[in-house]
Amino acid sequence: MKRIAFTVRAEDVGKRLDVFLAEQQALLTRAQVQKAIQEHRVQINGMVRKASYRLRLDEQGVIEIPDPIPLQCQPEALQLTILYEDNDLVVVNKPAGMVVHPACGNYTGTLVNALLYHCTSLSGIGGVLRPGIVHRLDKGTSGILVVAKNDAAHQGLSAQFKDHSIVRKYQALVYGAMEKDSGTIETLIGRHPQSRAKMSAQPKKGKRAITHWRVIEEFLGITLLEVTIETGRTHQVRVHLSHLGHPVLGDSLYGSTKRLKEISTPSVRDAIKRINHPLLHAGYLKFVHPLSSAILDFTTPPPEDFLNLLATLRGAP
């Protein structure tokens, strides 16, 4: 068990305990803070305090961080595309169709299973089913992921995702023509009120989400976008683009097959029907190495089916 001590400074007087701890980027994520408080692993002046406790000047606090839980995922010899690797982290190009980590219904064949075979060990902070995982991509989304090999790298990368300093860009093929060349959408994103499998843009409930987009190329009834996200909410890009009225091609959850009727070119329509995942690719990632402080950036092209559809669109009359 690791113990981290802190002292309440003048600028933090009056803050709620949970808010204060969540602001300390070198410690834990907001969810980990809540769990630590619930498990009585946070003390102020030697006493366990609730999340709502208001801090006072010069109080001495301690937060206990449990030792990493031994990993329980099974290594699997699955093909991986490694873009970069050192002693602290590994950057991979995830194919569409691969789940990032084991969960109900998907305990094998995941990126984590493949990484455990390749790396033998990963950071244990994410728990037994999500070792090393700092951020995620949906099953149907392809592209770049950085994974932590040790706890120091995990905490450093998590801090960068938390303060939105990591640059993440996607390419997306969407239905329709955009009304302008670029824009920003900011909403709250929360669980869909009717479908637990979906998220939705909501006016009052949910987590703040910000997505920037710009037009790269226009076709008849379809647009290629570059999308940059500030936040990383579940299904954020897909939800926001659907909310704008421009769902991602191949997205059966947030789109509709009725949009195919808008495509007048038979060859393009047939090509879209063959797509079995959202045409969304996380093609650019830039961050600061959490231990060496080197600036790292990576770029990958979209997968073959994405590129094939682009070629069809460019060749269409």
pTM over 0.85: no
The DSSP secondary-structure symbol of 133 reads B
Question: CA-CA distance, 111 to 117, in Å (whole number)?
Answer: 10
Q: State yes or no: pLDDT of 95 exceeds 80.
A: yes
- Over the range 173-182, which residues count as b (16 or more CB within 10 Å of their CB) and which as e? bbbeebeeee
- How large a percentage of the chain has pLDDT more than 90? 66
pLDDT at 105: 62
- How large a percentage of the chain has pLDDT more than 70? 92
pLDDT at 277: 96
12, 58, 88, 138: the active-site residue: 138
- Band (pLDDT 50/70/90 cuts) for residue 104 is low
| C-beta of residue 200 within 8 angstroms of C-beta of residue 188 | no
More confident residue, 148 or 196: 148
What's the rounded mean pLDDT across residues 7-19? Answer: 92
- Band (pLDDT 50/70/90 cuts) for residue 101 is confident
| Structural element, H or E, at residue 40 | none
Examine the residue annotation and report whether 138 is marked as an active-site residue of this protein.
Answer: yes
pLDDT in tens, 217-230: 999 999 999 999 99
pLDDT in tens, 181-204: 999 999 999 988 888 789 999 888
Q: What structural domains and CATH numbers belong to the chain? A: 2-65 (3.10.290.10), 68-163 (3.30.2350.10), 169-283+306-315 (3.30.2350.10)
Average pLDDT, the chain: 89
Q: State yes or no: pLDDT of 170 exceeds 90.
A: yes
